[in-house]
Homo-oligomer: A and B are copies of this chain.
Amino acid sequence: MNFTKTITLLLASFCFITNAAAQNDSILIKKIFDQELLNGQCFQDLTDLTTKIGGRLSGSPEAAAAVVWGKKVMESIHPDTVYLQECMVPHWVRGEKEFAEVFRAVGNSRRREDMNICALGGSVATPDSGITAEVVEVYSWDELKKLGKEGVQGKIVFYNHPFDPTKIETFQGYGGAVDQRSKGASEGARYGAIATICRSMTPNHDDYPHTGAMHYNDSLPKVPSCAMSTNDADKLSEYLKSDKHLKFHFKMSCKTLPDEKSYNVVGEMRGTEHPEEIIVFGGHLDSWELGKGAHDDGAGVVQCIEVLRLFKALGIKPKRTIRAVLFMNEENGLRGGKKYAELALKNKEHHIVALETDRGGFVPRGFGFDFKPDMMAKVLAWKPLFVPYGFDEFIPGGGGSDISPLIDQGVPQMELLPDSQRYFDIHHAITDNISNVNKRELELGAAGIAGIIYMISQYGL
């Protein structure tokens, strides 16, 4: 942002903050935060969702239970309407717990060691007897290409490019490594690999494999693909230095079943003055099943439900329609998000903004906006209302997978920005459970979303 712009926006902020409306808004927003910090129920909701239902991958009985749960909780709040949006979702199952071991030469003998792996979501299984082969480690696509068929044929490709810990915003580290997970299997298969291993997507050194979606290129053979804990990836890399011909053996019994019927869950309060202007905010109800989907994205789900609860508790009647959506199938298909956009188009709905909360229930730092300059100026003028609650960042850029299908309809996108430092500790791993969620941090996020949704519902964009 240049200096003139900064001054303009500062002026806008100061003009806004000094008028009476802003004072009333400031009072209302304090009421929202006070209500949440004194009587917030989202942490209890998240405890219920994660301990009574648990991990809930699309198509699973747990995902179906989560739909029933979400609808019931929303109904208990009594917004104007609660309804489901049907969609068909992929149904991939992990099967038995995966097994992996490495055999390496130590002096004149061979040593065997277990390794921590898990199937990547969408992977095919190994044969019942597993796969046993040599391993070739690569750090980049260039390196893979240079190895070519000669270096890769019949082997297991081991993608070990690390998640860069020096990126302060950890999603940047993730972005710089995750293509190994998403397309590694097919890129390996292109050169004759019979399976692939991917270093887990975390900047940490831990013992947990972190799962996540991978995609096959239909024109190439489908080979089994797994994630390996970072500690074991470091070990495997070390072992390869002294024994290039070590043998890796692993077994996975995952498979893709026929699509299942599932649902988005929607709760809505109609606007009193401009009901046709819709403000949608959501998180996703499905989750990976190694953990309990607490931060990803149970946190977003309960925060969105809490916004409705806060509006009701404080007697706020929005001028524009507000709609909380618990999207289905963000993790491995986005069918819920696509269905939502499809129905919005079909029903000729006018969405003025879409907000996503899918970066964990950590302490909020602000919001990210993919807005045009005039709209950005408007929300920047509101920033002083949120700074007292730790929302220091109102920054360009923002959105989320579930709401991204609305981009084609020109719907401005925004998202909650929690602090990102801890997110990839637990992302898609067994550690994503309620004991790693902090009640106050979760509540501050919920109150912040309620606050910004209130402002948009009052003043439009």
B-binding residues in A (CB < 8 A) = 3, 6-7, 10, 14, 33-34, 37-38, 165-166, 168, 203-204, 363, 365, 388-390, 392-393, 419, 421-422, 425, 438-441, 444
Contact = CB atoms under 8 A, between A and B. Distances in A.
B37 A440 contact: no
A33 B168 contact: yes
Contacts of A6: 10
B392 A421 contact: no
Contact of A166 (B7, B33, B204): B33
A38 B165 contact: yes
Given A438-B422, A440-B421, A166 B38 contact: yes
A166 B37 contact: yes
Contact of A421 (B3, B38, B441): B441
Contacts of A438: 421-422, 425
A392 B393 contact: yes
A114 B116 CA distance: 43
B392 A34 contact: no
Copies in the complex: 2
Given A10-B6, A204-B439, A440-B203, A421 B33 contact: no
B392 A392 contact: yes
Contacts of A439: 204
Given A6-B10, A7-B7, A438-B425, A168 B419 contact: no
Contacts of A33: 166, 168
Contacts of A422: 438, 440-441
Contacts of A441: 421-422
Contacts of A389: 168
A422 B10 CA distance: 32
A363 B421 contact: yes
B165 A440 contact: yes
A7 B13 CA distance: 13
Contacts of A425: 438
A33 B165 CA distance: 10
Task: Name the residue in A6, A165, A438 with the highest tally of chain B Cβ atoms < 10 Å from its Cβ.
Answer: A165
Contact of A363 (B10, B203, B204, B419): B419
A438 B165 CA distance: 14
Contact of A444 (B388, B421, B440): B421
A439 B3 CA distance: 36
